[in-house]
Amino acid sequence: MKKIETKNAPQAIGPYSQAIQVGDFIYTSGQIPLTPEGELVGADIETQTHQVLKNIQAVLDQAGSDLTQVIKTTLFIKDMDQFSKINQIYGEYFSEHKPARSCVEVARLPKDVLIEMEVVALKKDK
């Protein structure tokens, strides 16, 4: 088991890692719309969704992977009425490669953000 850490995504705000690699699998912790410096971005779902996906990309990059290697995503969203907007942005990052996905509406997320996402990916072949 290997801990994955990058300064290009927000640091963990609790007792957890940005990601863990087990064999060829990478499991990210939930990413929320914070900049690498820890600042919350945007009050709208579009800005927050883009930042979450940028954070996921940064963690995967550090682990030697990328979005094309994602097997499964889980989205936690505050308002299911925002699903179509989230889906449109999500499709910009996952256009041809479409991993399995779950999406759940939740009552509240850390720092009262609108979206959180975690992924499971494979390490890229060298």
- Amino acid identity of residue 14, one-letter, is G
103 is catalytic: yes
- Amino acid identity of residue 114, one-letter, is L
| Separate counts of helices (H) and strands (E) for the chain | 2, 6
Going along 48-93, which residue ranges are E strands?
Answer: 70-77
At residue 29, what are phi and psi to the nearest 5 degrees? -75, 165
What is the C-alpha to C-alpha distance for residues 3 and 14, in angstroms, rounded to an integer?
A: 15
Which is the catalytic residue, given 20, 40, 41, 103?
A: 103
Q: Which residues are catalytic?
A: 103
